[in-house]
Chains A and B, each alone.
Chain A
Amino acid sequence: MAPRRADPAPYNVNSLSMTPMDTGTGSLESAVRQSRRRLLLLSGLRWACAAAAIALVGFILLLALGTDRFPGGLLWLFALGGAGWAGWRWHKGRPADYEVAQALDQRWNASDQISTAWFFSSHEVEPTPASEAQRKMALAAASGHEVTTAFPVEWPRAASFAAALLGLALLLLTARLALQPQLSLEPPLTHVLFPSLAQPETELATLEEKEDPAAPEAADEPQSLSKKGERAERREAQQKPPAETPPALAETAQQPGEPFQMPEVEGLTIEPEAGDELAFESKEPGSESAKPGEEANSGEQGPSETAENQKDPAGDWSEKSNNLLDRLKEAFQDMMENLGMEPPQSASSEQQQGGEAAQQGQEGSQQSSEPGGEQAQAEQGSEGGEAEMEGGEPGAGDPQQTAQGQGNQNTSEEGSQQSQSAAASGSADGSKELAERMAEQQAALDALEEFYMQRSEEMEGEIMVETSAAEQTAQTPYQASRQTHTDRGGAISRDEVPLAYQRYIETYFRNLRRNNQN
């Protein structure tokens, strides 16, 4: 930028019947500088609003997330970052005097007279009569105008945005003040508005503390999954310091052969029913015949702890197991009917006589109880079946239980062998009939297939397809075809082609000749 000249003496604008411009000094330079200051002020105001908006965003985040998740230092980062960014943009967007003069021209409809006059007067350009005269004309064009009207104070969009953010911040602050007895910015706003959202964490900690002291650490892991149900809560629970397990509990849990205590599980609690009384009674030393099945069901659980856990009123484990057994039973009966065998009615009747305890047994083991007595044998068979099914070990602690378990195992093995032999003979008969039936069906299918194949080869005739009256597109298979202009002996002269298309025509024929030569 060349150094500016000193302001010339004011022109005698009255000789041109012009009124001096209302800019205070009567010169273009002062008008441009005054306009530039105003533009800088307006620009500064706009960017200050933008910086305030950024700072308010930080404050809103602080109010919403709390200092737990949005440290207070970040608020300063927002404020200072916004101010720095706005200052940089303001500094970068400062208009030059020449640009201000152009803006004045545009605002005052001066036909670029002011900017032209400013340029030719502020640069080292030799003044000419034309430039001097043009300067006077520019002064005349600027006369009667106010800088304030050229650049009025406008409500910047950033100010509207900042005002909206300020309102939001005040709203959030009011919500905190109204909901908190004493203003605290630490918890997130969601926990203030909805305290129930904050409860799961505290409840989780409480649950871990209240966890059954008899439950072993290893067995607690999968059960806590089902108990909490939600993975996020589990993760939070893992992040928290684990609840202290009493040393006695840990020892109990890790000792092999110790009876296992069923922990409390929501929805999976075992509730004793009326039919279970028999099983509970059989846990007494005098009636161990019903015991092994229960032992197998609960692993290495001791008799006394099992009884206590089964009396837990919180769940409906027995109902679910009954439903499952009913379904298994129905499926087994269906299978037997499909195979053409009669379901073992006697076993089921005996099972019904056996009550609810007998319903928990398996059908195979029920068959094994046929040779034996009535009720006790059915119970033994069902429990033995359970032991065999779940692979439960016989009770290791109590010698009586061990003996009973062995006895029941023998019983169940005998029963299962008998049921296997009966089932083998039944299934052999059924499979033979089935094989014959399938062979007949296969032969019929083969004949049908041969018939249709022959018909399809000999079939002739017309096919008419009726469709709705709509627009349809007929498509024919694509067939490549090629024709050249040279085959037809066509000729075209330059003058017949419009000038705009001659280049394309020439290129086209040039390519045509080249292709023919190839």
Chain B
Amino acid sequence: MATTEAYLQTVTEQLQAVRDEISKVIVGHEDVVEGVLIALVAGGHVLLEGVPGLGKTTLLRTLGESMHLKYSRIQFTPDLMPADILGSMLMSSSADGLKSLRFEPGPIFAHLVLADEINRATPRTQSALLEAMQERTVTTGTETHRLEDPFLVMATQNPLEMEGTYPLPEAQLDRFVLKIVVAYPQREEMITIVERTMTAEKPRVRQAVDRDQILEIRRRATEVLVAPHVRDYAIDLVLATQPTQPQAHELAKKYIRYGSSPRGAQALVQCGRVRALMRGRLNVSIDDIRALAGPALRHRIILNFDAHAEGRTEDEILNAILAAAKRPAEG
């Protein structure tokens, strides 16, 4: 009994230590750091959207350093081929002169993969990530290679430059458990960023947890309790985004073409468990679900033409849905 509670405290401290290490490099963006950590522990992938220069690449690199995980970065360009990501078969010759084909793993074979500006690659290359993200395997020829846990793809995309980009298809968007919008830092945060730039000494990131500890935290996260009313609340939120459902919100009926898939409810509960764990709880609360509703659902709903014409955003509609969703005790 005491083991569980003690371990809970340990987990909380470890996750907080990771956040502290990241904060040595990344100023502010606590919600972004927390979201990436949640996605990592929950076993999902995260899509970061923000303008260049906000520290997206630095964040993932720092995360890899703090966890001592293998980190790789792929810069997506229109001429990037799937083999550039997954790997390719190379002719190799042995010592006795026999030649054979050998699989050379691509950068996808890492624990933390940064797919930078993922929307610049062609849909063919983008879809090469699908299997890796969902099945955690890579198939080349007749061989299937398993990716090592933990495996996190953190993709970034620039919302400004749409010329020459290929927006991610819905099927691939659904693979990301969270979509986090990276906002500009506040003034105080900006001052800290500039001061750190002026100092010659670079911050050192020490290892807070290792790979096994991360996997143990992930296992413990599955033990976090989800009460029926919390589960129902998450499901109601997802149903409210589906315009064909009777409990759909008015704005959803008006502006949403396709609502969230069941993966949205799964993401809410999975990420809610990790969030509760990070806060030292063994149960998911409705506050966890509400806090994660935006990142978990905003990329799973597809707005219709009217919404684009009227300048409506996914966050605006989700906020309206959250405001209208009553807690069970209120109903």
Contact = CB atoms under 8 A, between A and B. Distances in A.
Interface of A: 15-16, 98-99, 102-103, 105-106, 111-113, 115-117, 119-120, 128-134, 136-138, 495, 498-501, 504
Contact of A130 (B4, B230, B330): B4
A188 B166 CA distance: 82
A500 B230 contact: no
Contacts of A495: 166
Contacts of B223: 128, 130
* Nearest 4 Cβ contacts at the A-B interface: A134-B282, A116-B283, A111-B285, A112-B285
B328 interface: yes
Contacts of B330: 106
Nearest to A123: B228
Given A130-B4, A133-B1, A133-B4, A504 B283 contact: no
Q: Could you say which of B225, B276, B281, B327 has the most chain A C-beta atoms within 10 Å of its C-beta?
A: B225
Given A116-B230, A119-B227, A130 B282 contact: yes
B284 interface: yes
Contacts of A498: 162, 167
Contacts of B230: 112, 116
Contacts of A99: 328-329
B4 A501 contact: no
B265 interface: no
Contact of B329 (A102, A111, A133, A501): A102
6 contacts: A105-B329, A111-B283, A112-B286, A113-B283, A134-B281, A137-B283
B305 A133 contact: no
A138 B276 CA distance: 14
B3 interface: yes
Q: Could you say which of B166, B305, B328 has the most chain A C-beta atoms within 10 Å of its C-beta?
A: B328
Given A116-B283, A117-B283, A129-B4, 12 more contacts: A102-B328, A103-B329, A106-B327, A111-B276, A111-B285, A116-B227, A129-B3, A131-B225, A134-B225, A134-B282, A136-B5, A137-B282
Contacts of B284: 112, 116
Given A495-B166, A500-B308, A501-B305, A102 B229 contact: yes
Given A99-B328, A99-B329, A111 B281 contact: yes
Contact of B227 (A115, A132, A500): A115
Interface in B294-331: 302-303, 305, 308, 327-330
Given A102-B329, A129-B3, A500-B308, A137 B227 contact: no
B251 interface: no
Contacts of B162: 498
Chain B interface size, as a band, is 35 or more
B198 interface: no
B282 A504 contact: no
Contacts of B279: 111
B299 to A, nearest CB: 13
A137 B330 CA distance: 24
Nearest to B164: A495
Given A112-B286, A133-B8, A120 B225 contact: yes
A133 B5 contact: yes
A113 B284 CA distance: 8
B205 interface: no
Contacts of A129: 1, 3-4
A112 B283 contact: yes
Interface of B: 1-5, 8, 162, 166-167, 169, 223-230, 276, 279, 281-287, 302-303, 305, 308, 327-330
A132 B5 CA distance: 10
B283 to A, nearest CB: 4
Contacts of A98: 229
Given A495-B166, A500-B308, A132 B329 contact: no
A51 B73 CA distance: 71
A85 to B, nearest CB: 22
A250 to B, nearest CB: 76
Nearest to B162: A498
Contacts of A504: 305
Contacts of B303: 500
A498 B1 CA distance: 56
A133 B282 contact: yes
A204 to B, nearest CB: 61
Contacts of A16: 5
A138 B230 CA distance: 16
Contacts of B228: 119
A16 to B, nearest CB: 7
Contacts of A136: 5
A15 B227 CA distance: 26
A504 to B, nearest CB: 6
A294 B8 CA distance: 120
A53 to B, nearest CB: 25
Given A111-B287, A112-B284, A130 B167 contact: no
A85 B167 CA distance: 59
Contacts of A138: 283
A120 B281 CA distance: 15
A132 B283 contact: no
A93 to B, nearest CB: 12
A137 B281 contact: yes
Nearest to B281: A111
A102 B286 CA distance: 10
A349 B5 CA distance: 129
Contacts of B327: 102, 106
Q: Could you say which of B4, B276, B330 has the most chain A C-beta atoms within 10 Å of its C-beta?
A: B4
A133 B166 CA distance: 49
Contacts of B276: 111
B270 to A, nearest CB: 16
Contact of A132 (B1, B226, B281): B1
B296 to A, nearest CB: 18
Contacts of B308: 500-501
B281 A115 contact: no
Given A112-B227, A116-B230, A500-B302, A132 B4 contact: yes
Contacts of A117: 283
Contacts of A133: 1, 4-5, 8, 282
Nearest to A128: B223
A128 B327 CA distance: 27
Contacts of B8: 133
A210 to B, nearest CB: 71
B185 to A, nearest CB: 29
Contacts of A499: 167, 169
A16 B280 CA distance: 14
A501 to B, nearest CB: 7
Contacts of B286: 112
A131 to B, nearest CB: 6
A117 B283 CA distance: 9
Contacts of B5: 16, 133, 136-137
Given A106-B327, A106-B329, A112-B285, A130 B1 contact: no
A19 to B, nearest CB: 16
B28 to A, nearest CB: 25
A1 B284 CA distance: 22
Contacts of A106: 327, 329-330
